[in-house]
Amino acid sequence: MPTLLEVQRAIYRSLAAGDDAACDELIVSDAIPAEARLGIYRNTFLGTLTTALRLAYPAIHRLVGAEFFETAARIFISADLPRNAWLDDYGAGFPEFLAGFAPAASLPYLPGVARLERAVNRALHAPDAKALDLSLLAAVDPTDHNRIKFAPHPSVSLVQAEHPIDAIWRAVLAQDRAAMAAIDPAAGAVWLLVERRATGVEVARLTEPGWRFAAVLCASRPLQAAIDAASEIEAASALANLLAAGRFVGFELLT
């Protein structure tokens, strides 16, 4: 008699990999054969994950169309199954999948738009967190300032792309054909900061040096590393802007 865990694993293999052999003796076949019963659940399994991807990547869905998206999604799902039951978190690898997906090669900006949508989705579902209490930072000895490592707000992400992905994303979601037609995909690179504010998720362009500075700090590397990465900007002003916007929730000193 198989254990419950063995039954669950057998059914999972059937749903995820199409391996029905292990389930042959576990399912009663009367009016509906076992493979047909499993097929119903498999279709539900794939449909649910495809819907999760469509909800997480709505601009990609509109850019490529439903048929293309569903085909790509099913190929992705077969190689990257969920690791937990929280479907809002599913699909982290979809942008990189699109980057290597040959049928999408004619749309070189597609992976970048997907990375932006991933960051937007992450910001939308990130937990709330209080901004860093600046009085605690003010108490740090000035000789230790370069050793400070910041903890970014959970909703903050930094995205860089070689195409104007923010303009494409906005135009596609707004279904603004005129705006989309006016975009030059080869207009050049963009450096973006994504975060959740009181008014919703915001996507803002930064200068390249400002983006490098913020990216180093949001990677929890020390302040001196951020200064070294963007020596052409006024670090004190850039840091003050990040702190005033509440983009950090804590800090520690590098030992």
**pTM for the structure as a whole:** 0.89
- Tell me what pLDDT residue 10 has: 75
**Which contiguous run of DSSP H or E holds residue 191?**
strand 190-197
Burial class (CB in 10 A: 0-12, 13-18, 19+), 174: exposed
Residues in the chain: 255
In 10 A of CB 122, how many CB atoms?
20
Can you tell me the distance from the alpha carbon of 193 to that of 219, in angstroms, rounded to the nearest whole number? 13
Based on C-alpha coordinates, what's the Rg of the chain?
Answer: 23
Predicted local distance difference test score (pLDDT) of residue 11:
74
- Which H, E and C letters describe 25-90, residue by residue? CCCCCCCCCHHHHHHHHHHHHHHHHHHHHHHHCHHHHHHHCHHHHHHHHHHHHHHCCCCCCCHHHC
Quote the CA–CA distance of 216 and 225 in Å, as a whole number.
7
In this prediction, residue 8 carries a pLDDT of 77
d(CA 156, CA 126): 9
pLDDT score at 22? 66
Residue 56 and residue 169: Cα distance in Å, rounded? 13
- The answer to whether the Cα torsion of 86, 89, 93, 97 is positive or negative is positive
Question: Residue 18: its pLDDT value, please?
Answer: 67
Output the tens digit of pLDDT for each of the chain's 255 residues. Answer: 778 887 777 777 777 766 666 676 677 667 777 677 777 888 898 999 999 999 999 999 999 999 999 999 999 998 998 888 888 899 999 999 999 999 999 999 999 999 999 999 999 999 999 999 999 999 999 999 989 999 999 999 999 999 999 999 999 999 999 999 999 999 999 999 999 999 999 999 999 999 999 999 999 999 999 999 999 999 999 999 999 999 999 999 988
Output the pLDDT for position 12: 74
